[in-house]
């Protein structure tokens, strides 16, 4: 596991919530043989940090610990070590753009205007400014400036109101966050998924998305980590078009991996239309990245199926195909939250077609936990603004164990696809 290779170029990832998949880190360690049997060689562990769980862990209250219900930090480290002994790499989510409003930094910053942590976040007297910045959740909040009664002003939040954005123009934020990353690198993690990587730097008169200053910042992060942890990788989440997404690779000096969101959308279009024309065109546009870099390819993750890189007609046609009853819409109906098996009505052959399509394109493919056994969405039980939670249900070990014993099961046929890729 210590050999200096571009291991991420041949990664086959499996994305999971520890609690949903195995209960605890100790439980996850016990299930490591499952991943070997499936054929994956890298785990992406979704946020495991202490959190109020407003956004299922993406509201981090402590970057250097583990939620108590998942076990201890020692359990986490032991799980990572066990994974390495099995030949499995481990990357963890790292939330760069914002913290929880319960993080000690923000609890200090919101108390008074002269608090030493004040400049860790973004503030406004009037709740105006940065008017062009992306509001990631327009169906949840009308604007990004959130009132702070204690100081009579407003803080900036791109995502949930209780996720205040960090001020990356402050050197102390850079140093504090890099120290947090180094903390986990020292404990054996092989990489970081950089959540909302495109939003880090804000500037007036822009969308504050994918700015040149953000790319400069990501390169600084890469340089800093590389000095001590040269094999620890950065995986950028940036929902942008192909050319803009390629910028997160830099000249091989920025992120090692980047999610290919446009390719995901065209994989679904190919399944919808029965034609590869737009998929092949997208694959052609995806070529030409630095030799040391790799796309992360996927059909879905823990989030909504994001279709913002498609035309309006393509987007709505695809939503009608994936979610014909419009039960799981998100983001004002511009996205939908569907597991593969739900989108394909539980049709085993179509599920296999979808997975075979994914593992047949260049890149490092991601399997979202449960898709390999045909798990479906949690049924709609009440009005839930965060429809993404319907694809974050508990892993069904009864189904998995039954399928493991059946050579003709979906799970074993998926395993053949993964191992043959």
Q: What's the CATH number where 252 sits?
A: 3.20.20.80
Task: Indicate the pLDDT class of residue 158, thresholds 50, 70 and 90.
Answer: very high
In this structure, are 366 and 304 located in the same domain?
yes
Q: Which of 110, 132, 167 is the last residue of a domain?
A: 167
Residues 277-303, mean pLDDT to the nearest whole number:
97
Residue 355 in any domain: the answer is yes
In this structure, are 218 and 228 located in the same domain?
yes
pLDDT at 90 over 80: yes
The set of catalytic residues is 195, 237
Residue 388 in any domain: the answer is yes
pLDDT tens, 74-83? 999 999 999 9
In this structure, are 145 and 228 located in the same domain?
no
Sequence-separated (6 or more) residues with CB below 8 Å from residue 358 = 267, 297, 298, 299, 365
Residue 333 in any domain: the answer is yes
Residue 249 in any domain: the answer is yes
Task: Indicate the pLDDT class of residue 4, thresholds 50, 70 and 90.
Answer: low
Residue 69 in any domain: the answer is yes
The secondary structure of residue 135, as a DSSP letter, is -
pLDDT at 390 over 50: yes
Domain that includes residue 144, residue range:
97-167
Residue 2 in any domain: the answer is no
Where do we find the tokens 């399509």?
357
In this structure, are 41 and 158 located in the same domain?
no
Where do we find the tokens 């919808």?
272
pLDDT at 2 over 50: no
Q: Which of 146, 167, 188 is the last residue of a domain?
A: 167
Residue 351 in any domain: the answer is yes
Distance CA(266)–CA(193), nearest Å, equals 23
pLDDT tens, 22-68? 999 999 999 999 999 999 999 999 999 999 999 999 999 999 999 99
In this structure, are 143 and 20 located in the same domain?
no
Q: Which two tokens stand for residue 380?
A: 């709609």
Distance CA(396)–CA(419), nearest Å, equals 22
Ordered DSSP codes for 47-76: P-S----TTTT-S-S-TTS--GGG--HHHH
Q: At what angle do helices 410-420 and 397-404 cross, to 10 degrees?
A: 70
pLDDT tens, 212-259? 999 999 999 999 999 999 999 999 999 999 999 999 999 999 999 999
In this structure, are 194 and 302 located in the same domain?
yes
In this structure, are 147 and 54 located in the same domain?
no
Q: Which CATH number characterizes residue 133's domain?
A: 3.90.400.10
- How many domains does the structure of the chain reveal? 2
In this structure, are 104 and 23 located in the same domain?
no
Distance CA(178)–CA(276), nearest Å, equals 42
Angle CA(400)–CA(267)–CA(249) in degrees, nearest 5? 100
Task: Indicate the pLDDT class of residue 3, thresholds 50, 70 and 90.
Answer: very low
pTM recorded for the entire structure:
0.96
CB hemisphere CA count around 240 (13 angstroms)? 21
Q: Which of 143, 167, 191 is the last residue of a domain?
A: 167
Residues 383-388, mean pLDDT to the nearest whole number:
71
The secondary structure of residue 408, as a DSSP letter, is T
In this structure, are 70 and 121 located in the same domain?
no
Residues 169-189, mean pLDDT to the nearest whole number:
98
For residue 321, the Cα-to-chain-centroid distance in whole angstroms is 24
Task: Indicate the pLDDT class of residue 386, thresholds 50, 70 and 90.
Answer: confident
Residue 415 in any domain: the answer is yes
In this structure, are 213 and 307 located in the same domain?
yes
Task: Indicate the pLDDT class of residue 380, thresholds 50, 70 and 90.
Answer: confident
In this structure, are 105 and 219 located in the same domain?
no
In this structure, are 83 and 144 located in the same domain?
no
pLDDT at 403 over 50: yes
């Amino acid at each position: 596991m210590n050999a200096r290779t571009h291991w991420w170029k041949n990664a086959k990832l499996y994305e999971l919530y520890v609690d949903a998949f195995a209960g605890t880190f100790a439980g996850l360690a016990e299930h490591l043989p499952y991943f070997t049997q499936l054929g994956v060689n890298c785990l992406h562990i979704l946020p495991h940090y202490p959190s109020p769980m407003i956004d299922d862990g993406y509201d981090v209250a402590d970057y250097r610990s583990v939620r108590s219900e998942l076990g201890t930090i020692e359990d986490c480290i032991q799980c990572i070590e066990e994974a390495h002994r099995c030949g499995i790499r481990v990357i963890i989510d790292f939330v760069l753009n914002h913290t929880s409003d319960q993080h000690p930094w923000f609890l200090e910053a919101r108390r008074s205007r002269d608090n030493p942590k004040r400049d860790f976040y973004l503030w406004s007297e009037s709740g105006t400014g940065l008017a062009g910045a992306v509001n990631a959740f327009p169906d949840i909040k009308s604007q990004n400036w959130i009132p702070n009664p204690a100081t009579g002003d407003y803080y900036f939040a791109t995502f949930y109101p209780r996720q205040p954005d960090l001020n990356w123009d402050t050197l102390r934020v850079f140093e504090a966050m890099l120290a947090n990353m180094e903390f986990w690198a020292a404990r054996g993690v092989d990489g970081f998924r950089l959540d909302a990587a495109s939003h880090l730097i804000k500037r007036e008169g822009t969308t504050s998305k994918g700015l040149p200053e953000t790319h400069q910042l990501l390169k600084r992060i890469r340089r800093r980590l590389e000095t001590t942890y040269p094999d620890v990788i950065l995986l950028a989440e940036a929902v942008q078009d192909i050319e803009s997404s390629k910028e997160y690779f830099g000249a091989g000096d920025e992120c090692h991996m980047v999610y290919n969101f446009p390719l995901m959308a065209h994989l679904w279009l190919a399944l919808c239309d029965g034609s590869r024309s737009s998929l092949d065109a997208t694959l052609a546009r995806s070529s030409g990245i630095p030799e040391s870099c790799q796309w992360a390819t996927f059909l879905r993750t823990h989030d909504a199926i994001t279709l913002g890189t498609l035309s309006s007609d393509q987007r709505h046609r695809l939503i009608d195909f994936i979610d014909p009853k419009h039960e799981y819409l998100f983001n004002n109906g511009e996205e939908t939250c569907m597991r593969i098996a739900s989108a394909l009505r539980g049709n085993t052959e179509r599920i296999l077609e979808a997975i075979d399509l994914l593992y047949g394109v260049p890149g490092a493919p991601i399997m979202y936990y449960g898709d390999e056994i045909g798990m479906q969405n949690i049924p709609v039980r009440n009005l839930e603004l965060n429809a993404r939670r319907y694809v974050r249900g508990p892993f069904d070990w009864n189904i998995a164990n039954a399928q493991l014993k059946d050579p003709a099961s979906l799970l074993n046929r998926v395993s053949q696809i993964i191992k043959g890729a």
